[in-house]
Amino acid sequence: MWNRLVKLPIGILACLATVSCGGPDRPGPNVEDVPAGFVFDANASSARKVFADLQEVDQSGWIAMDANDDHSSIMITTYAGTVPEDQIRSARNTHAERWGRKRGAQSGSDYGAVEEIEIEGHKAWAWEITQHYRGGISSMEWVAVVPYEDQTYAIEFHAGMDPHKDWDLIRNTVLSFRQD
């Protein structure tokens, strides 16, 4: 109980301490269309890296949390080098095999097909993940991977809070990614 009472006021104070609760005022990879209520955290990290076997150069993101400990996050992970399409598809398949919902199960994650998209004029690949718990949807996520000449970015929008469980909001946020 104490944890819940402290987290919300701290999040609100952190948000109020910034000029805006949108994108950070810093150079580097960002999403431009951060939904209201998110707070930037330069030390945020993802529990499940898109590429567990690649060298991570940087990771940061935005977090939103409510009084019930529900949360949403937008993470950007930078990996060294250009990741080819086959390795991107393989990473998605590895996650789906490990954490995917088993046939007939009420809980687990459903992984959508990899789709080719464009972000900031670059060819990219993305897929949806829908997390189920006891027959209901507990979260929605869209993962996009954008290879550049010398770095690859993974942008993950995890929507665990009801106001963020909207595929258009999730996709538009991720599609607003900019390298600099």
More confident residue, 4 or 96: 96
Question: Which pLDDT score is estimated for 122?
Answer: 97
Q: Residue 140: how many CB atoms within 10 A of its CB?
A: 20
Question: Which pLDDT score is estimated for 26?
Answer: 61
Which domain, by its residues, includes 140? 2-178
Question: Which pLDDT score is estimated for 16?
Answer: 37
pLDDT of 84 strictly over 80: yes
Distance CA 23, CA 90 (A): 31
CATH number for the domain that contains residue 151 = 3.40.1000.10
pLDDT of 7 strictly over 80: no
- The confidence band for 17, taking pLDDT boundaries of 50, 70 and 90, is very low
- The two most distant CA atoms of the chain are separated, in Å, by 48
For residues 49 and 77, the answer to whether their CB atoms sit within 8 Å is yes
- The confidence band for 121, taking pLDDT boundaries of 50, 70 and 90, is very high
**38 token code pair:** 């998110």
Place of tokens 């607003």: 176
**Tell me: the pLDDT tens digits for 47-63?**
889 999 998 999 999 99
- Per-residue b/e over 23-54, b at no fewer than 16 CB within 10 Å? bbeeeebbbeebbebbbbeeebebeebbbeeb
Q: Please state the domain count of the chain.
A: 1
